[in-house]
Structure 1
Amino acid sequence: MFLIFLGIVVLMAGFAINTPSLTFSRFSRPAKVVGGVFIVLGLLSSGIKQIDAGEVGVQSLFGNVGQSTLSSGLNFVNPLAKIETFDIKTQNYTMSAVHDEGLKEGDDAIRVLTADGLEVVIDLTVLYKVIPSETPKILKEIGVDYQNKIVRPITRTKIRDNAVYYDAVSLYSTKRDEFQNRIFKSIEGNFKSRGLLLEQLLIRNINLPTSVKQSIESKINAEQDAQKMQFVLQKEKQEAERKRVEAQGIADYQKILSTGLTDKQLQYESILAQKEIAKSPNTKVIIMGGKGSTPFILGDK
């Protein structure tokens, strides 16, 4: 547009000095030619629009939005039309309590009330992209600032609406994935009706009130102590069972000995043992005998 404006100015100057009485009237014709060249170059440059990779363009002329989109590369457009570009790559919108981590400065986390009336702070990231074919509709109905007009308010509202179905502890632990999927489904339809495709919803962190955290920690410690005591009791039970089996084995052994050995057998075993002792070179005299029998002497002589 600058070249067109400059060309018009030079062309008008050429006509203005086209007066024979002026000493520099001889420059009138060259000025007209230069002005015409600038206008032509301006029209050509304004009629060609480059769209970068991962973007699409939408034309608007005097407030009227075109229905077609301009793809990446060079496109021939109306020189008078205004071109708005839309990023169609995956975008993310983060709301975090950590300073400078989200797209808003300061604490931008979402504070919600759970079913048990406790306030929970949620850090969240939304992954989404613009649907290319819907960009004319977005420009006409929403504008280019769709993050602050659609992504942010809808996400925050739906999270608050769904958090009331869960208590704080289950939201933090067992129901976290269920809560995330529920939010995704409720947001997905709203985004799609406005030309946005929701790809993923990531709950990055859930901060509970201090009193709830202390209760959870106490419960975890109690469960750990109970598991430890259960292990000790199980070990003692196994040890008692081992001793019972050992005692039973000893009792059974003694029972067998008391019922299975006779006096004659014991006398015979005694004779064999004493005979082995007599064979020892260190043994000199062994006196053998028993109740009601005549003792006799064994020796090496």
Structure 2
Amino acid sequence: MFVLSILLLIAAAVLFLVGRGRTGAGGWKLGAVLSAVAGVLAGVFSCVHVVSAYEVGVPVTFGKIGTPLVSGMHFKSPFTDVTSFSTRPVDLDLNGKDVVEVRSSQGGVLYADVTIKWAVVPAKAVALYRLAGSEEAVEERLVLPDSREIVRNVFAKHTSEEGYASAREQISSEIAGLVKERLAPRGIDVTSVNLRNVRPSEKLQDQIDKKIQQEQATERATEASRTAKAEAERKRIEAEGIARANKIIERSLSDKVLYNQCLEAYKEAAKANPVYAVPCGTDSNGTPVIVDSGKK
């Protein structure tokens, strides 16, 4: 803008000089006036800079960095360049082609989708300008590489199973803490880190499936063994119960009891058919014999 102002003023001077030496040069003089006015306006605008809301400007004059400019209108030297940084939160999405490939402590490959929300701290705009040079470079040179490095380092401390299942919340918390700790001194405020998805590679998925099948087979074998042991224990208890019952019966079967049972049997048999019976004996040779009268 300042260069344009100089060119317009030079043009105004040329038009004025050319028009002064000619008769009827009203058009030349008018052109000179208009050029001079335009040159002055361009010069004024080159000395004014407006910083938009939610932005901070870093002025640089001949390589010297000045005090950051807050939102509003500012007067500056026409030789001063102002680099603006947005202070609004920005989402850095590490997914798709930018997904983070990580390795677990066991060497398994996983893919992590991460979203990092960050913003420039206005008071640290000068430091960020020195480190990166522009708002786009802040993300490319600072936020992106540091975040990817931290994500890989955190996953490397955990097993594959912890990475995609059991410890995802813990891993997300670790990543958030380390990213904030790394970027805060540089003037970058990390408001949130969201570990949205973790998926194993195809090779790791095959290993996981085989492990699950082995665990299921082991569980089935363990259950079968447990069932067999329970059945054997049940049969042992049943056998012991029968043995104890037989011992009780054996102790209770005296000669008098057997004689009484023999008489009861004769009574029941006599109700149906006449019988001839040898009286029951009470010694070892006295086995009762029942003879049906209908048979010879």
TM-score by length of 1: 0.64
- On the 8 A contact 2:94/2:113 being kept in 1, the answer is yes
Which residue is 2:51 aligned to? 51
Name whichever of 2-11 and 76-85 sits farther off: 2-11
* Residue in structure 2 matching 1:136, options 112, 126, 140: 126
Which residue is 2:192 aligned to? 200
1:228-260: CA deviation from partner (whole Å, max 9, x where unpaired): x9xxx9xxxxxxxxxxxxxxxxxxxxxxxxxxx
Q: Which amino acid aligns with 1:193?
A: P
- On the 8 A contact 1:69/1:136 being kept in 2, the answer is no
How far apart are the structure 1 equivalents of 2:42 and 2:214?
A: 75
Which residue is 1:171 aligned to? 163
How far apart are the structure 2 equivalents of 1:9 and 1:49?
A: 24
- After superposition, residues 50-129 of structure 1 pair within 5 angstroms as 50-71=50-71, 73-97=72-96, 107-129=97-119
Shift in Å at residue 68 of structure 1? 2.4
Which residue is 1:210 aligned to? 205
Q: Which amino acid aligns with 2:179?
A: I
- After superposition, residues 252-271 of structure 1 pair within 5 angstroms as none
How far apart are the structure 2 equivalents of 1:61 and 1:123?
A: 42
From the superposition, tell whether residues 138 and 114 of structure 1 become closer, same or farther in structure 2 (CA, over 3 Å). Answer: same
TM-score by length of 2: 0.65
How far apart are the structure 2 equivalents of 1:65 and 1:223?
A: 69
Q: What fraction of aligned residue pairs are identical, expressed as a percent?
A: 20
Shift in Å at residue 217 of structure 1? 5.5
Shift in Å at residue 141 of structure 1? 2.5
Name whichever of 191-200 and 51-60 sits farther off: 51-60
How far apart are the structure 2 equivalents of 1:30 and 1:222?
A: 98
Q: Which amino acid aligns with 2:33?
A: V
Q: Which amino acid aligns with 1:61?
A: T
1:172-224: CA deviation from partner (whole Å, max 9, x where unpaired): 12211111121222221221121101111111111112224425754897899
- After superposition, residues 141-152 of structure 1 pair within 5 angstroms as 141-144=131-134, 145-152=137-144
From the superposition, tell whether residues 9 and 92 of structure 1 become closer, same or farther in structure 2 (CA, over 3 Å). Answer: same
1:76-110: CA deviation from partner (whole Å, max 9, x where unpaired): 3333321211110110101113xxxxxxxxx2211
- On the 8 A contact 1:69/1:133 being kept in 2, the answer is no
Which residue is 2:260 aligned to? none
How far apart are the structure 2 equivalents of 1:87 and 1:221?
A: 55
Q: Which amino acid aligns with 2:161?
A: V
Which residue is 2:177 aligned to? 185
- On the 8 A contact 1:15/1:28 being kept in 2, the answer is yes
- On the 8 A contact 1:89/1:130 being kept in 2, the answer is yes
From the superposition, tell whether residues 163 and 188 of structure 1 become closer, same or farther in structure 2 (CA, over 3 Å). Answer: same
Q: Which amino acid aligns with 1:202?
A: N
How far apart are the structure 2 equivalents of 1:39 and 1:123?
A: 54
Q: Which amino acid aligns with 1:214?
A: D
Q: Which amino acid aligns with 1:143?
A: G
Aligned residues: 222
Q: Which amino acid aligns with 1:201?
A: V
- On the 8 A contact 2:49/2:75 being kept in 1, the answer is yes
From the superposition, tell whether residues 224 and 81 of structure 1 become closer, same or farther in structure 2 (CA, over 3 Å). Answer: farther
How far apart are the structure 2 equivalents of 1:132 and 1:83?
A: 14
Name whichever of 195-204 and 174-183 sits farther off: 174-183
How far apart are the structure 2 equivalents of 1:33 and 1:93?
A: 52
Q: Which amino acid aligns with 1:211?
A: D
From the superposition, tell whether residues 24 and 191 of structure 1 become closer, same or farther in structure 2 (CA, over 3 Å). Answer: farther
- On the 8 A contact 1:65/1:136 being kept in 2, the answer is yes
Segments of structure 1 that go 5 or more residues without pairing to the other structure are 98-106, 234-301
Name whichever of 46-55 and 125-134 sits farther off: 46-55
How far apart are the structure 2 equivalents of 1:179 and 1:66?
A: 41
Which residue is 1:41 aligned to? 41
